[in-house]
Amino acid sequence: MSVPPPLPEFTYPDQLQRFSVAPAIYLAKNPTLSGIIVSGVVVHAFPDPLHNGPAINRVLIVQRAATDGFPLLWETPGGGVDEDDESILSALQRELKEEAGLVMGRVIDLLEEGTEWKVKGGGKWRKVTFLVSVGDDGGAFADREPKVVLNADEHVDHVWASWDEIERRECQGREIVFAYGEGEEIALRGLRLAADGANGGLRVE
């Protein structure tokens, strides 16, 4: 079995340094946790359909496989942090590549760190969600749609949804129901933060 090539380096702001540590270090500082889930909110600016207005920001959401938990519901791409991941942020880059075929070039900001749930056998898992940018080799897609390649064992469909489409829970003829109660709000939060960044209001240093 061939070993995939290493992913390129990515950048992140100083305020996210606490996530650039080995999972064991993060868990040691949070002893009530037994595991970590990471998720990436990817926002891309698409041209106006009529080509006469400002670009429309859309967020990538993926549909869970029928054989998985929360079958056929929607989420932002992500997954579990492994013990041998170099860091929590490295796990995020790995999951985005494995689940959506996208190369994370930059972690822009933290969106959410408060979602936790109990698991069988005791302990809790925490989900941490970030706003990220992607590209062919970690750079940005300036003039075209990022190519999404799904892992069919985990996801069966994807859409790039606008703010209005998420709010009305319909995009490209699909009914959009998120797998987790906070999923919709976090996707909208990512769109809002991306818009603030485009207007010079996003802190990224």
Q: Dump pLDDT digits (tens) for 31-53.
A: 999 999 999 999 998 887 666 77
Evaluate whether residue 5 is within a structural domain.
no
pTM score above 0.75: yes
Evaluate whether residue 6 is within a structural domain.
no
Evaluate whether residue 4 is within a structural domain.
no
Evaluate whether residue 45 is within a structural domain.
yes
Evaluate whether residue 205 is within a structural domain.
no
Q: What is the pLDDT of residues 77-97, one digit of tens each?
A: 999 999 999 999 999 999 999
> Confidence class of residue 55 from pLDDT cuts 50, 70 and 90?
confident
Evaluate whether residue 155 is within a structural domain.
yes
Q: What angle do CA 127, 91, 196 make, to 5 degrees?
A: 65
- What is the Cα–Cα distance from 119 to 124, expressed in whole angstroms? 6
pLDDT for position 54? 80
Range of the domain at 36: 14-198
CATH of the domain at 74: 3.90.79.10
Least confident of 50-59, 73-82, 139-148, 195-204: 195-204
Q: What angle do CA 155, 157, 160 make, to 5 degrees?
A: 120
pLDDT for position 10? 95
Number of structural domains (the chain) is 1
Work out the percent of the chain whose per-residue pLDDT is above 70.
89
Evaluate whether residue 131 is within a structural domain.
yes
Evaluate whether residue 1 is within a structural domain.
no
